Homo-oligomer: A and B are copies of this chain.
Amino acid sequence: MKAFSSYQNPALAIDLVVFGYHEKTLSVLLLNRKEAPFKDQWTLPGAFLQMEESFLQTCSRILQTKLGMDNVYLEQLYSFDDPARDPRGRVISVTYYALVNPSKFQIVAGQMANDAQWFNVQETPALGFDHQDIFDKALQRLKAKILYFPVGFQLLDELFTMPELHELYECILGISIDRRNFRRKILDAEYIINTGAKREGSQNRHPDLYKFNKQLKQNNFQLNIS
């Protein structure tokens, strides 16, 4: 096979957009590079894929060794191919985004980075490589996704209050949402997920703390917020 002898293959990197939510602020985790290229500039955490690794294993390795976290929500985002995106040579980047609860993790700077730090997504510094494009795409995806899939709670504690979830949505979407209509839509959506049926009136008393069942199939989640 050509591809395994005469052809040279591009390097393949995994880059992560790690989102965290804390005190009404959506943040992204960035690393300050210790080495060229883009020395002393901020970039997304990443690593080269090893020959025997799956994408998710590389993700775990990045999260574990560089950041000391693991077992978080991960979703493949997009693959970036600009031949000039890395000055060292041809590097394809397969990207994922992660949703974590920052209060559960202690950031540790890895070998590659001087510093690891949370940045408010509204106030990110200039990013090296094409990481601004990656970050933009991730934020766009997250905004779209929380409207039709219950991923938002991944950024909160396992138990959360309705106002907490409400604030999270307002923060991520950057709009204000009527508190009472939001509540109704969330409960309706969750009810459909859990029972398959439509919620009529106030069929059930609700607790102070909510919890989304991550096991059940989570289709039919549609918030229709405008």
Contacts and interface: CB of A to CB of B under 8 A. Distances in A.
Interface of A: 1-4, 7-13, 48-55, 76, 78-79, 81-83, 88-92, 94
Given A3-B11, A88-B1, A88-B4, A79 B94 contact: yes
A2 B51 CA distance: 13
Question: What is the copy number of this chain in the assembly?
Answer: 2
Contacts of A10: 9, 12, 49, 51
Contacts of A90: 51-52
Given A3-B48, A9-B11, 17 more contacts: A2-B48, A3-B11, A3-B13, A3-B91, A7-B50, A7-B51, A9-B10, A9-B12, A9-B49, A10-B49, A12-B12, A49-B92, A53-B83, A54-B82, A76-B79, A81-B94, A92-B94
B11 A4 contact: yes
A73 to B, nearest CB: 17
Given A9-B9, A12-B12, A13-B3, A54 B83 contact: yes
Q: Per DSSP, are chain A's interface residues mostly helix, strand or loop, or mixed?
A: loop
Contacts of A1: 88
Contact of A55 (B8, B54, B79): B79
Contacts of A81: 54-55, 94
Indicate the member of A12, A55, A88 with the most B CB atoms within 10 Å. A12
Contacts of A2: 48
A10 to B, nearest CB: 6
Contacts of A52: 83, 90
Shortest Cβ-Cβ A-B pairs, 4 listed: A9-B9, A3-B48, A3-B11, A55-B81
